[in-house]
Structure 1
Amino acid sequence: MNTTAPSKPADQTAEHASGALSELVANDLELACCGKVAGRPRAADKEARLESLLHTAACLFLEKGYGKVSLEMIAREAHVAVRTIYVKFGGKAGLLNAVIAKGRARYFSGMSSMETDTRPIEEILMDFSIRFVDLVSVPSFVSLHRMVIAEAKSTPELATTFNQAGPVQTRELLSRLFSRPDIKAQLRSELPAEMLAVHLINCILGDQLTRLLFPPEQPPTTEEKLRRVKDGLDLFFNGVLR
C-alpha cells in the first residue's frame, strides 16, 4: 500500500522551498535566546548560538571572500572562541561545509526520500527540480558560486569543500534514484546513472555561465522558475526515456 504523503502542487512546493540558503545570511535571524543564562546552556540556547556562528561565517565569506576571512575574524564577530570552531567544525573548511549543509537540509526538508518515493518519476523529478531551481536562484547562492569560481585556483580547499557539500551531494542523490530497478527500467539502458544526473541538472539550469556572469537584479518569479523546470524536464525525458 502506498503510504507516501500526497505531493503539494508545484507552486506551493516552490514557495515552501523559497529562500532556504538565504536564511543563512539574512539579517533578521531571531537570536533573542542567545543571551547568557545561569547554569548549563539549554539545547535551544546552543542551537541559537550555532545558528549565529553559521550566520556570521556565511556573511563574512560572501562579503569579503573565503580566502580573506580568518577563523579569528569569524570568532570575534560571532563572540565565540576560535577553539570552539576547531572543536565543532575542524577549521574553516569544515565551517563552510556546515553552512552549505545547513542550507541544503533546510531546503530539502519535507521532500520524500528519492530512494523510496513511490510516485511516478515525472512527479519525483518535478518536486526535486522546483526545489533545486529555487535554491540556485537565491542571490546568496549565486554569490557563493561566483566566489568559489573566482577563488578556486588560489584556494583549492574552497573549491573542494563546495563541490563535496553541494554538487557532489546532488549528483549522488539523483544517481541513486536513477539506479533504482523500477526507475532504471524506464530509462535508456546505455545511459549510466551518473550521466543522467548531470544531464538533468544541465537541462533544468540551462546556460549556467550566463547565470553566473550576469545574474539578474531580481530573482526569477515562481512562474518563470516553473516554466524553466517544465521545459527542462520535457527536454530531459524526451532524451532518456525508453
Structure 2
Amino acid sequence: MPDNPRNEPEDEKPATRLEARRQAMLEAAAQLFFEVGYERSSVNEIVRRSGGSLTTLYQLFGSKEGLFEVMVQDRCTRILEPLSAADLPAKPPQEALRALGYRFMEVVYCPEVIAVIRTVIGEGAKLTNVAQIYFRNGPDNAIGKLSAYLAELDRTGAAHCPDPAFCAKSYFMLLHNDIFFRVLAGVRPPPDMAEIKAHVDKAVDLFWRAIAVE
C-alpha cells in the first residue's frame, strides 16, 4: 500500500496541521488576553487551551509578546474587513458617507473590537510596538480608505477636501463622539441600530456642511 494514498504532496499535511495549530493558539491567546490581560496571561495556559506544545508556540511566534502582536494584527484585519462592503464610489457622496458610518459603527461596537481596544490601551504604554501594530492595521487603515475617497471627491470638484487625511480623521471622530468613549469605559451599553443611524445621520450632515462646495 502506498504511503500517500491520496497523492497529496508530502509537505502539505504537516503545513496544514501547523496552520491549524497556529490558528488555535491565536484563538486561545485572544480569549486569555481579553479575560485577564497580557501580564497575567501565561504561555503555558495558552498551550493548554489550544493544544500543541511550547516548542511550537515559540517556533510560530517567538515569544508571548510576538503572539500578542500577531493576535492584534489578526483581529484588526478581521475587524476592518466589513468596511470594504461600504462600496463608496458607487454611491452619491452623502449616501456613501452614511453607508460607511453605519458599517463603521456596527463594527466598532462589536464586543471583540471593544476587547481589542481595551487590551491595547491597557498594554500599549509597556508594549509600544503592539500599539503601533493596532493603529497601523486598524485606525490608520480605515483613515487611508476614507482619505483616498475624499481626495477623489476633491479632485473632481464634488467636495472641498484639500487635506483628505485630516478630513477623514475628523469624520471618524464625529462618529466616535462621546458615545464610544463611554462604552469603552463601561459606563453605558453600546448603541442599538436606531441610535447608530440617528447619530451617523447627524455626523454626516455636519461633516458634509464642512466639505460641501458652495
Question: Aligned pair in 2 of structure 1 residues 169, 86: CA closer, same or farther (>3 Å)?
Answer: farther
Task: Determine the structure 1 residue equivalent to 2:48.
Answer: 76
Is the CA contact 1:130–1:229 (under 8 Å) kept in the aligned structure 2? yes
After superposition, what is the alpha-carbon deviation per residue over 1:10-49, rounded to whole angstroms, capped at 9, x for unaligned? xxxxxxxxxxxxxxxxxxxxxxxxxxxxx93797x88765
After superposition, what is the alpha-carbon deviation per residue over 1:158-181, rounded to whole angstroms, capped at 9, x for unaligned? 312211121111111111111225
Task: Determine the structure 1 residue equivalent to 2:194.
Answer: 223
Rg (Cα) greater in structure = 2
Is the CA contact 1:62–1:143 (under 8 Å) kept in the aligned structure 2? yes
The Cα of 1:183 is off from its aligned counterpart by: 6.0
The Cα of 1:134 is off from its aligned counterpart by: 0.9
Q: Within 5 A, what are the aligned runs for 1:2-13? A: none
TM-score by length of 1: 0.69
Task: Determine the structure 1 residue equivalent to 2:100.
Answer: 128
TM-score by length of 2: 0.76
| CA distance in structure 2 between the partners assigned to 1:59 and 1:171 by the alignment | 28
Task: Determine the structure 2 residue equivalent to 1:232.
Answer: 203
Is the CA contact 2:147–2:164 (under 8 Å) kept in the aligned structure 1? yes
Q: What is the percent sequence identity of the aligned residues?
A: 24
Q: Which amino acid aligns with 1:205?
A: H
Task: Determine the structure 1 residue equivalent to 2:8.
Answer: none
Task: Determine the structure 2 residue equivalent to 1:34.
Answer: none
Q: Within 5 A, what are the aligned runs for 1:171-186? A: 171-180=143-152, 185-186=157-158
- If asked which structure has higher relative contact order (CA below 8 Å, sep 6+), I would say 1
Is the aligned partner of 1:108 residue 2:80?
A: no
| CA distance in structure 2 between the partners assigned to 1:143 and 1:85 by the alignment | 23
Task: Determine the structure 1 residue equivalent to 2:112.
Answer: 140
Task: Determine the structure 1 residue equivalent to 2:185.
Answer: 213
| CA distance in structure 2 between the partners assigned to 1:152 and 1:240 by the alignment | 34
Moved more, 136-145 or 160-169: 136-145
Could you tell me which runs of 5 or more consecutive residues in structure 1 were left unpaired when the two chains were aligned. 1-38
The Cα of 1:194 is off from its aligned counterpart by: 0.8
Question: Aligned pair in 2 of structure 1 residues 195, 109: CA closer, same or farther (>3 Å)?
Answer: closer
| CA distance in structure 1 between the partners assigned to 2:143 and 2:193 by the alignment | 24
Could you tell me which runs of 5 or more consecutive residues in structure 2 were left unpaired when the two chains were aligned. 1-11
Choose between structure 1 and 2: higher helix proportion: 2
C-alpha RMSD over aligned residues: 2.9
Task: Determine the structure 2 residue equivalent to 1:15.
Answer: none
Moved over 4 A (4+): 45-51, 82-90, 181-184
After superposition, what is the alpha-carbon deviation per residue over 1:95-148, rounded to whole angstroms, capped at 9, x for unaligned? 32112212322x336443x4xx23211222212111111111123322322232
| CA distance in structure 2 between the partners assigned to 1:195 and 1:86 by the alignment | 41
Is the CA contact 1:85–1:95 (under 8 Å) kept in the aligned structure 2? no
Task: Determine the structure 2 residue equivalent to 1:62.
Answer: 34
After superposition, what is the alpha-carbon deviation per residue over 1:190-230, rounded to whole angstroms, capped at 9, x for unaligned? x401101111001112114333224424x321111111111
